A and B are shown apart, each in its own frame.
Chain A
Amino acid sequence: MIEPLIAIFKIVVFPGLAFITLLGLVYEWIDRKAVARFQNRIGPLYAGPRGFLQPLADFLKLMAKEDIVPTWADKLLFNAVPLFAVTIPTLASLYIPITGYPVLPPFEGDLVLVVALTTFFTITAFIAGLASTNRFSTIGAERAALQLLGFEIPMFISVASAAMAAGSLSITVIAERQFLPFALLQPLGFAVYLIALQAELERVPFDIPEAESEIVAGWLTEFSGKKLAFLRLSADIRLVLGAALATAIFLGGGSGPVLPPIVWFLIKSIAIVIVSAMLRALFARLRIDQMVRGAWKYLLPLSMLQLLMTKILLLVVV
């Protein structure tokens, strides 16, 4: 009787849905505060201690706002997009061993599932842009799809070289088999992953699909009220997912001395969030053609090189 209850508690509360949502809001706060410090600003300040509750306040405020559906929008797709946008990254993050063991039982190949789900998200963004029938949204959707062509393959290859080194396609196993974090053994792959992560999260210098000064808000333009709140939440959860995946695959997951795995996991993933915030503060936005060209010219060869080096290393050592 008690076992199913514990399983449900795990999925719904800790370390499942509620925890991941909470983590998303906390990471957004950390990200905003960090970027503000890099830009010599103060950042959120009023809601809660040091503005800690600002992301939650923003979310609740948006939930209370008027929800507008454009007359010419494809209603079904338009309404479905925010749900998919939150569900997909949340589902993916259930496979990441945040407490040392994932919420859903791991299996050989869950890494492939998780990276495939991240691609699905971009397709959701593309559908969102097309369903809004707004010219800015359409351009944003087109850019999101083009950007996917740029960052997806290098990201997968950098993840694949880690999987090859660990000899497994399960995130949990990869995290466990790192006697030394892969970030040190595979610095190139780690760097490629971090850069591609900026593109996946649509953050500067790759915030091209949402480029504010060019196309208003890109594929998000027509969303308002509850839908926008959910899309913002989705961005937070994707930040958690990206940071957590990097922690599990390149930083050895929750392994570390003295402290319990979850604390180590959070420390490491917060470090990834801060690095991502720093990248966000350091650059100007690239143009879509520059982004795709740069990805194919530099990111892809670098990730291939990493794969090759890993293979040679394995042949030599084993």
Chain B
Amino acid sequence: MPTYKLPIGPQHPAIKEAFHFTFELDGEVVVDVKPRLGNVHRGIEKGMELRSWNQGTFLVERICGICNTPHTTCYALTVEELYGVEAPPRAQYIRTIINELNRIHSHLLWIGILGMELGFWSYFMYVWRDRERVMDVVEMITGNRVTTSAIIIGGVAYDIPPHMEGTIRRAMDFLEERTKFYKQVLENEPTIRARTENVGVLNKSRARDLCAVGPVARASDLKTDVRFDEPYCSYGEVPFNLITYPYCDVYARALVRADETLESIEIVRQCLDKMPSGPIKLRLPRAPPPGEAVNRVEAPRGELMHYCKSDGKEKPYRFKARTPTLANIPALCEMLKGYYIADIPAIIASIDPCYCCTERLLFVDINTGKKWVWTYDELKRYSLKWNEKNGGRRR
């Protein structure tokens, strides 16, 4: 039977952000998939070079709406490394709490999205209703629901005063109870299991070869978590479990995220118990000394990497971010092959994609399969040459 192509995206109900996949199908079965990035490229890396180090905190936060805190944390840690300082211990604990609250909200959001992709609207509605509770806590601490601007270079912008502790603990108790219930639904609801078990299988060795990160890797039984491997903030001081599942399918990814939510709740409680007193931020000079630094942080979607280079001036010389979704795209393409059209939304959702973090300028020569990345200067030179050749007009 001849295959045919099904375009999904940039506008499609299964994909909340602009992203394009071309599926090659044989009947209802996916034979091949070609992802295409580039619909929401915003030039943030260049934008960083035009702003001062401090302003960068607020731009870097906007790389991703949902996991904004890991971005600011990673950036702050990287710049602090350039300065050669560390944020005060209380600031580290507050950073941990805000990061974990972010993880709770991101994972609950994802569990709801899974329900929606499977056509289980009731699940989506209930999960998102209860997720409001964690948003309220974030709003109470930082004044904002999503883009918190809480983490700055040298510490945090907002303290957690003692009178907030009770509210946070009550919210955590509520969320723990609800998350346990939603995990139970995942485990016991036959239609959810029928749609997620043995779907989108990515076995352990393939996951390692394709450099999967975050919950996707952990659902394939790979023990990888930056919070464990290279503890930052105060993760070294609060014990928690690394969640892995051996099933390698969408169902395992759902369970990993449900269990991680429970672990995050536990981490928030421990941080509140152990929180030291003291200052929450450092006063730093306007520009770090020349040098370069790279740092890793575990975002809800996986390992996030930031690189900064300073030449001693007020603005970064170069900034580069490697986001978890980009790292998971090769694994995603592997997962999709051989499954039905009906499985596509669940599998795409299972890596918890965040395309606006992912956009890059990457060239692929279709004829030779060669890939390369151009710097701005090279691109400019090419465009000047092209214009000269073609008389400055498009064909």
Contact = CB atoms under 8 A, between A and B. Distances in A.
Interface of A: 35, 38-41, 135-136, 139, 142, 204-205, 207-208, 211-216, 281-290
B195 A285 contact: yes
15 contacts: A40-B125, A135-B5, A139-B28, A213-B117, A214-B342, A215-B341, A216-B13, A282-B122, A284-B118, A284-B194, A285-B118, A285-B119, A287-B342, A287-B343, A288-B342
B344 interface: yes
A40 B13 contact: no
Given A213-B116, A216-B13, A289-B28, 12 more contacts: A35-B121, A139-B28, A207-B119, A213-B13, A213-B14, A283-B191, A284-B123, A285-B195, A285-B342, A287-B194, A288-B28, A288-B340
Contacts of A35: 121
B395 interface: no
Contacts of B125: 39-41
A281 B121 contact: yes
B120 A283 contact: yes
Contacts of B117: 213
The 10 closest A-B pairs by CB, nearest first: A285-B119, A284-B120, A284-B118, A284-B191, A39-B125, A287-B342, A213-B14, A213-B345, A281-B122, A283-B191
A40 B194 CA distance: 25
Given A39-B126, A135-B4, A214-B345, A289 B340 contact: yes
Nearest to B118: A284
Contacts of A214: 14, 341-342, 344-345
A39 B112 CA distance: 13
B14 A284 contact: no
Contacts of B14: 213-214
Nearest to B27: A142
Contacts of B123: 284
A13 to B, nearest CB: 37
B122 A38 contact: yes
Interface in B1-57: 4-7, 12-14, 28
A284 B5 CA distance: 27
A281 B195 CA distance: 17
Contacts of B343: 287
A289 B28 CA distance: 10
Contacts of A204: 119-121
A66 to B, nearest CB: 18
Contacts of A286: 191, 194-195
A284 B192 contact: yes
Contacts of B189: 283-284
Nearest to B344: A214
User: Which one of A38, A208, A213, A288 has the greatest number of beta carbons of chain B within 10 Å?
Assistant: A213
Nearest to B340: A287
Given A284-B118, A287-B342, A216 B195 contact: no
Contacts of A287: 194-195, 340, 342-343
Contacts of B338: none
A74 B48 CA distance: 53
B12 A216 contact: yes
Contacts of A211: 119, 342
Nearest to A208: B342
Nearest to B345: A213
B115 interface: yes
A206 to B, nearest CB: 10
A39 B123 CA distance: 8
B381 interface: no
B163 interface: no
Which of B7, B14, B191, B343 neighbours the largest number of chain A CB atoms within 10 Å of its CB?
Answer: B191
B12 to A, nearest CB: 7
Contact of A212 (B119, B129, B194): B119
Contacts of A284: 115, 118-120, 123, 189, 191-192, 194-195
A144 to B, nearest CB: 13
